[in-house]
Amino acid sequence: MAAEHRDVLNQFFADLATGFAAQFGAPFQEVTATWPGTAVYDDGGSIVTPGTPVEKPCKAQFDAPTEAMRNDPGFLEKDMRLIVLSGTLDGTLDSAANVVVGDGEHAGTWSLESVQGDPAGIGWECRARKVA
**Domains of the chain: residue spans and CATH:** 3-37+49-130 (2.40.10.270)
Instruction: Check pLDDT > 60 for residue 67.
Output: yes
- 74-101, pLDDT tens digit by residue? 999 999 999 999 889 999 999 999 999 9
- At position 74, the amino acid (one-letter code) is G
At residue 24, does pLDDT exceed 60?
A: no
- CA-CA distance, 132 to 121, in Å (whole number)? 29
Q: What are the residues whose beta carbons fall under 8 Å from the beta carbon of 106, sequence distance 6 or more?
A: 62, 80, 130
Q: In the predicted model, is pLDDT for residue 125 greater than 70?
A: yes
Question: pTM here?
Answer: 0.78
Percent of all residues in the chain with a pLDDT value above 90, rounded to a whole number: 66
